[in-house]
Structure 1
Amino acid sequence: MADELSRLAHWVAPLIQGLSVPRRRVAMAQVSTYMRRSNSQRIAEQRNPDGSAYEPRKPRLRAKKGSIRRTMFEKLRQARHLRKSATPESATLTINGRSARIARVHQLGLRDKVDWRRPNSPSIVYPRRQLLGFTDGDVEAITEILLHHITTGT
């Protein structure tokens, strides 16, 4: 996947440079908007970029009867947490604020405290769940967006 993205970047870079700066910014804004929508939808489906399902949560020992449980990362996929930005040279999608810590631990599969606010909270290794990434469909869609801007100029 990484080499496919680098091939796309090398192929499209000279073509994009032919566009004016405002038109490049518009194209990159559309790419970042698409990526936010795509990643948010994939997080809602609880899927990694390769299509595999997220490893499920471990069962709670003391789950309260009748408690309402949300799906993982339900709030994290909201637009206020998934920040997009675009410049004439790049389109980025980031997770900001306190949510970035949670996302980083899950994205990389790191060790963290169960409740970081409590000093005596147990520390566990979280399974790797890729929140942000590119699927094959994303690469095709980004190519289409960029080709549209190159060929039509809108």
Structure 2
Amino acid sequence: MASNLEALETWAAVLLERLEPGARNQLARNIGQELRGSQQKRVIAQENPDGTKFAPRKKRNLRGKQGRIRRKLAMFKKLRTASYLKVRGDSNAVTVGFTGRIARIARVHQYGLKDRAERGAPETSYEQREILGFSEADIALIRDNLLSRLT
């Protein structure tokens, strides 16, 4: 995957040199917004970039829930919204990611780290769930967006 991304970067660098800075800014914003949309769709589908499903949540004993119909709770429901998943693009780079406290939560799940669910709670080891990442479709999306802008 990294080699595909590096190949795309070297190929695109030559083409991007021909664009004016304002056009590069607009292109970066467009690519960033489309990447955010693809990341959001992938998180809604609960999939890693390689197509595998997220590790399921741990079973919890919720004592107050007997006798009620429990819906399947989707992970990262708020995290995938545009207010948390930020896009920044300028003439040199495009970034799609999280900031602040939300970034810490996302990083714990992205890499499968240990964290506390709340202050004073015991440390819990979280499964790795790649919230952000490049899939083959994302690389094709970037390539197609570049080609359509340059033609």
TM-score range normalised by the length of the shorter chain: over 0.9
Following superposition, the deviation at residue 99 of structure 1 comes to 1.1
The reply to whether residue 44 of structure 1 matches residue 44 of structure 2 is: yes
The number of equivalent residue pairs is 148
Letter in 1 for 2:101: R
Q: Distance in 2 between matches of 1:47 and 1:64?
A: 30
Q: Considering only aligned residues, what root-mean-square deviation do their CA atoms show, in Å? A: 1.3
CA–CA separation in structure 2 for the residues paired with 1:113 and 1:69: 23
Taking the aligned partners of 2:59 and 2:136, their CA distance within structure 1 comes to: 33
Q: What is the alpha-carbon distance in structure 1 between the residues aligned to residue 47 and residue 72 of structure 2? A: 18
**Structure 2 partner of 1:129:** 129
State the AA in 1 paired with 2:58. K
| Cα deviations by residue, 1:100-154 (Å, 9 ceiling, x for unpaired) | 1110100011011122x2x2x1112101000001110110111000111122xxx
Confirm or deny that 1:81 pairs with 2:84.
Answer: yes
Alignment match, 2:56 = 56
CA deviation profile, 1:55-106 (whole Å, cap 9, x unmatched)? 0001112353136663100000000000001001111101122211110100
Report the equivalent of 2:3.
Answer: 3
Give the partner amino acid of 1:38.
S
Q: TM-score, normalization: structure 1?
A: 0.91
Q: Under a length normalisation based on structure 2, what TM-score does the superposition of the two structures give?
A: 0.93
Kindly state the Cα deviation for residue 19 of structure 1 after the two structures are TM-superposed: 0.5
The amino acid that maps onto 2:79 is L
Unaligned runs of 5+ in 1: none
Task: Quote the residue 1:34 is aligned against.
Answer: 34
Distance 1:87 1:109 in 2: 31
Q: 1:25/1:72 Cα in 2 relative to 1: closer, same or farther (>3 Å)?
A: same
Once residues 94 and 87 of structure 1 are traced to their aligned partners in structure 2, the CA distance between those partners, rounded to angstroms, is: 15
Moved over 4 A (4+): none
Match of 2:17 in 1: 17
